[in-house]
């Protein structure tokens, strides 16, 4: 998956560490923080390559149409967090088009409190 490859490169190149806050709003709003629940139906942590796991993740959708995609990665026992910011647009009320950031352009769908991103055959499910 392109997202994983880019995050792997970012982790190996710089071991990026950043913090992110939560500015979510109430129920019924798409804004807020969605926590990664599963990758391809598997609960976290998920090994995506030998010795390389995703242990946590989130997408924060801000009311100014910016987002932060965040993954906590463990590589050979070392844990780091990689944050990737960008912008998003809501299309047809439930489709979100994400733009920019290291991950490039991708899309997701929101249904209730669930955000699903399908990218290059991989399915990531996030819940608010």
pLDDT tens profile 9-57: 444 434 333 333 334 444 468 999 999 999 999 999 999 999 999 999 9
pTM: 0.79
CA-based nearest residue to 61, from 102, 20, 92: 20
Dihedral of the alpha carbons of 92, 94, 99, 102, in degrees to the nearest 10: -160
Give the three-class secondary structure for 87. Answer: strand
* Per-residue pLDDT tens digits for 56-85: 999 999 999 999 999 999 998 899 999 999
């Amino acid at each position: 998956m392109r997202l994983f490859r880019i995050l792997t490169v970012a982790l190996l190149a710089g071991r990026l560490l950043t913090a992110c806050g939560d500015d979510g709003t109430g129920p019924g709003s798409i804004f807020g923080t969605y926590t990664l629940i599963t990758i391809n139906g598997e609960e976290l942590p998920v090994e995506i390559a030998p010795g390389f796991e995703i242990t946590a993740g989130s997408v924060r959708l801000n009311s100014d149409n910016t987002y932060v995609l965040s993954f906590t990665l463990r590589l050979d026992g070392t844990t780091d967090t990689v944050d990737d910011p960008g912008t998003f647009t809501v299309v047809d009320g439930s489709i979100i088009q994400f733009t920019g950031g290291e991950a490039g352009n991708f899309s997701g769908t929101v249904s209730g409190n669930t955000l699903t991103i399908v990218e290059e055959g991989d399915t990531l499910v996030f819940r608010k």
